[in-house]
Chain A
Amino acid sequence: MVTDMRTQLARTATDLVERDPNVAVVLAEISVDRFGRAIEVAPDRVINVGIMEQTLIGVAAGFAMEGFHAIAHTMAPFLVERPFEQVKLDFGYQGLGGTLASVGAPYDYGTEGGTHHSPGDVGVVLTVPNTDVLVPGCAAELDRLLRATYADGRLTYLRAGVAQSDVAFDVARGRLEVVRRGARATVLAVGPLLSRTLAACEGLDVSVLYTASVAPFDAAGLAAAVGEDPLVIAVEPFYEGTVLPALAGALRHVPARFASVGVPRRFITSYGTAEEHDRELGMDVAGIRRRLVGALELG
């Protein structure tokens, strides 16, 4: 049975709590049931603050001020949008490291409605200078990324989702993988959208790249992977266009063209499963293919 990323996040964080006395986990009610073991072994370092998200971030930053590797966790809209100023100032401006680990973006809990969706989370976090954004494609990648970065002294937004890719790469901060080569365009799949992107690209003469590291972005890797007059299409599990500034920066030395297949920038008012939202928003395999083909035809 495939482990979901939310469960993996709790498992890995619990293991880190047990191994490293400098790890602190701060929760805001969400996922507390999955952290029972961690709370049991380290009740002074695994704290559930209740439903108070500004304090969630402030308390985590307080732990960081004391030298702890803090991991703050709740659902994406309540982790980075509601307490954004705490993220920006308590961590970002103060220059503190820590991990903000979310679940639920962009619309994983699809029946909850727009109040619980967060396709804008990554775009918001990217406005905080010197912040890393990691979007693992599956539980194994999440485990790898969290272990590699939790103590690196940087502020990291780690985004766990329900959807997963079928394959796990040896992902790392700032790394991009070339999955397959083609001539007409370069398609960059981000995080959990790799499997869908590969399926959508069946029969298309395109390169497919993959990354779980939105920031830092592997600019050199992209520059090396494209031709002299590239068309680069990002397939991104957040608002469309979010990664395009990073792509444009990476290819500023060539006359490149860009397109995005991402979550349309509108409020989602329907209720249903994540798969139903994918279909509605053009983020399932058929929708991604339709949008890719459209971008290829435009050139």
Chain B
Amino acid sequence: MAARTDLDHVRELMALATGDEKHDESSTSTLDALWVLYDRVLQIDPAAPRDETRDRFILSKGHGPSAYYAVLAAKGFFPEDVLAGFLEWGNPLGSHPDRNQVPGVEASTGSLGHGLALAVGSALALRAKGSTDERVVVLCGDAELNEGSNWESILLAPHLNLTNLTLLVIDNHSSSIPMGPWQPRLGSFGWGVVVVDGHDQEQLYDALSLRSPERPNAVIADIPEGEW
């Protein structure tokens, strides 16, 4: 019998947060990437989630946050039993995360196409502070990238040489308009682009740990249809 892993525990926590089943696929598609980020990549102290020296993570798409909430709870940002009240009156965990109610949530998102510009602003602000170690990771869905506002920021970030910015795209092929091929599309805007298996945690770790000295990075986590 295989050993129980921390990620198994996160899956158990996700099972507590029920009621948003229409976004199940959106949530499970992000699970491996979120786990790798919070377990091995991002430097954030759950006891001091607004500490100046933290890395920043923005769940731009906002949708399907039960995986996000479960990872945050597993890492100690808030008590695990809060998950059982997901979507219930008086509980801080709604269908879209709220920075003013949920410890560890960096931005209030859910309306698609907002998080990337916020991330660009945050990355610029870190540079203006002289903060060179901290980085900003923003997660967008492939369908979210239909929104034109994202393409403003996709144009802007390389122009501003935001090497402290990583765009993580969960490409679960939910977009009615296929968004690939990613390399030529984002690459032509000046991004470094790596496409990985969205369920392969080692590939995700290698790609998300990368920080180019010259350009912002995009990591495309590919999730084949039906393998959410």
Interface residues of chain A, those whose CB is within 8 Å of chain B, are 24, 26, 42, 44-45, 47, 49-50, 52, 54-55, 57-68, 70, 85-86, 89-90, 93-95
A103 to B40, CA, bound (A): 47
Flag if B121 contacts A59 (CB, 8 Å). Answer: yes
Is the contact region of chain B dominated by helix, strand, or loop, or is it mixed? Answer: helix
A47 to B128, CA, bound (A): 11
Flag if B117 contacts A65 (CB, 8 Å). Answer: no
A93 to B128, CA, bound (A): 25
Flag if B100 contacts A55 (CB, 8 Å). Answer: no
> Which of B99, B118, B152, B155 lies at the interface centre, i.e. has the most chain A CB atoms within 10 A of its CB?
B118
Check if B199 is an interface residue, CB within 8 A of chain A: no
Which residues on the A side are within 8 Å of B43 (C-beta)? none
Check if B124 is an interface residue, CB within 8 A of chain A: yes
Residue of B nearest to A47 (CB): B124
Total interface residues on B, CB under 8 Å, equals 30
Interface residues of chain B, those whose CB is within 8 Å of chain A, are 99-100, 106-108, 111, 113-114, 116-129, 148-149, 152-153, 155-156, 159-160
**A-B interface pairs (CB < 8 A), number:** 98
A selection of 21 A-B contacts at a CB cut-off of 8 Å is A42-B128, A49-B156, A50-B159, A52-B153, A52-B155, A55-B120, A55-B152, A55-B153, A58-B114, A58-B120, A58-B121, A58-B149, A59-B117, A61-B118, A62-B117, A63-B128, A64-B121, A66-B125, A66-B126, A85-B111, A86-B149
Give the shortest distance, in Å, between A26 (CB) and chain B (any CB).
8
Which residues on the A side are within 8 Å of B117 (C-beta)? 54-55, 57-59, 61-62, 86, 90
A76 to B108, CA, bound (A): 25
Flag if B160 contacts A47 (CB, 8 Å). Answer: yes
Residue of B nearest to A83 (CB): B149
Give the shortest distance, in Å, between B112 (CB) and chain A (any CB).
10
